[in-house]
Amino acid sequence: MSVRRTMFSTILSFLIAALLLTSPADARQIRKDELRARQLEAAKKFNLPSRRAVTSGVKNITFSNPRASEFWVDGTKIPEVDFDIGPSWAGLMPISANKNETRKLFFWFFPPGPQGSLDDLLFWTNGGPGCSSLEGLLQENGPFTWSYGQAKPTVNQFSWTNISSVLWVEQPVGTGFSQGKPDIRNEDDLAAELVGFLQQFLEVFSELNTKKLYLSGESYAGTYVPYIANYIYEHPTALNLSLQGIWIADPSLSWDVVQEQIPAVDFVHKYEHVFALNQTIMTELDAIAARCNYAGYMDKFVTYPPKGRLPLPGKSTFADPGCDVWDMIFDAALNVNPAFNIYRIFDTFPILWDVLGFPGSFEQVQLSPIYFDRPDVKQAIHVPDVPWTECSNIDVFPHGDGSLPSALSVLPNVIEKSKRSVIVHGLADFILIAEGTRIVLQNMTWGGLQGFQTPIANDSFIVDGVGALGNTHTERGLTYFEVQLSGHMVPQFSPRAAFQTMEYLMGFRSNP
């Protein structure tokens, strides 16, 4: 009995000691200041300035035409901006030399920063159709940024003005501050009007003639930009500029069934713990995906190299009856998370306020008027006191866009004629899904071959100071990037990565 008592006493002592070692008093504790210090140390990786990412100053640039002074913007008097953003030029410019022309596009032009290039001109447009490029300027790649949740504007150290002069244009007619009655029927009409605007712009700002031109944009600009580029290539004497290449992010390139429907259910499985849909819904979605020929599509058809033309899964370019899984997923996601954001799936409550009133899937105006609808802002950038909304309430294509998607029409020609072409896609974007873009690329023929011939390697996009942040692949003049953690607006959600991809397009980096 004494041996048993001794063994029992030993075991009891061991258990008491173990409990004491793991008591709440000895549990991991971390002070708030230590948390902040560690976060700041990690954030330094994203703030390491590249050779062109700087925070202040501009290169000297002057314009000899007296009319240029009508558009000059005092960088010390931008409402709510408590720092000097430097000189810029903004206002309305007609789309033709016709004295009775009533159609005008709004532009805001910034010269390059101290390490930017004076030899280049970078053009930016947002998509929509009918959404303002001032969103891009204010929340993505402009010299000052006022993004979701920010109390006030701050310097954007990854402004694209640190690379080049940048021209943000609200186009087509009917977008933002731009004036006149929309009358375009298709993308060729849009391109002709935009080139007409650029002709008038270069008449006033003539020192920009002969520059190397790069066209960029996102979303529906995946249609705009290739058609504009194709128009310029096919009308080589229209502009005294040398078009070098294009950059399009999360682009609309093909049919909705390809870029939204086919990859939608696989996308939810990839991010199951983000969507948090119950198993009943997931089982139903899987059954519909199988019935509608979405299931297994990527494995069967998206090969490197392609085995042939990639088929539509049904008869519709949108979705066959009963096959609209994208909208089913959106509705189901909203039931779980009413703040669900199709532009960045990680968002939850609270919805961060937005100075432009449209931070995600739904409009949310917490301060009125929104920034670009303020009279003092309009006065600073030389526009009349007319209503402004981020996305137009009128149809900029009055009878619809009569053009084919760009990947099915002009994009191959543009890639072949450009020195470099870049397509970027945020992997957390649900409105246009990256795997859908892969389908588009593998079904597109350029440079004499269909699609990429070798696979896109995982973790192949290396961001300076950060490491692998996605995937990239280059063949025959086209470079494709996928960016982890980024939603639809890559320069907003992953500005350092976007900056690096633009440096590559413009030849300031030899490798992606």
Q: Tell me how far apart the alpha carbons of residues 281 and 278 are, in angstroms, rounded to a whole number.
A: 6
Q: Tell me how far apart the alpha carbons of residues 114 and 118 are, in angstroms, rounded to a whole number.
A: 10
Is 235 among the catalytic positions?
no
**Residue 126: CA count within 13 A, CB half-sphere:** 27
Is 219 among the catalytic positions?
yes
Instruction: Kindly report each contact of residues 333-336 with a partner whose C-beta sits within 8 Å and lies 24 or more positions away, as own/partner.
Output: 333/275, 333/277, 336/275, 336/276, 336/277
Angle separating helix axes 187-204 and 221-234, nearest 10 degrees:
70
Instruction: Please give the domain boundaries of the chain with CATH numbers for all domains.
Output: 66-254+401-505 (3.40.50.1820), 256-375 (no CATH)
Is 188 among the catalytic positions?
no
- Of residues 216, 219, 392, 418, which has the active-site annotation? 219
CA 392 to centroid of chain Cα atoms = 19
Token pair, residue 406, equals 């760009």
pTM of the model: 0.92
- Of residues 88, 216, 406, 488, which has the active-site annotation? 488
Query: 207: Cβ–Cβ under 8 A, 6 or more apart, which residues?
Result: 61, 62, 63, 64
Query: 298: Cβ–Cβ under 8 A, 6 or more apart, which residues?
Result: 262, 263, 266, 435, 438, 439
Q: What is the pLDDT along the chain (512 residues), one digit of tens a residue?
A: 454 455 555 555 554 555 555 445 555 677 777 777 877 777 776 665 665 665 567 777 899 999 999 999 999 999 999 999 999 999 999 999 999 999 999 999 999 998 889 999 999 999 999 999 999 999 999 999 999 989 999 999 999 999 999 999 999 999 999 999 999 999 999 999 999 999 999 999 999 999 999 999 999 999 999 999 999 999 999 999 999 999 999 999 999 999 999 999 999 999 999 999 999 999 999 999 999 999 999 999 999 999 999 999 999 999 999 999 999 999 999 999 999 999 999 999 888 889 998 777 777 777 789 999 999 999 999 999 999 999 998 999 999 999 999 999 999 999 999 999 999 999 999 999 999 999 999 999 999 999 999 999 999 999 998 999 999 999 999 999 999 999 999 999 999 999 999 999 999 999 99
- Of residues 429, 464, 473, 486, which has the active-site annotation? 429
First-to-last C-alpha distance (Å) of the chain: 77
Q: Can you tell me which residue has the tokens 């041996």?
A: 3
Token pair, residue 313, equals 């899964």
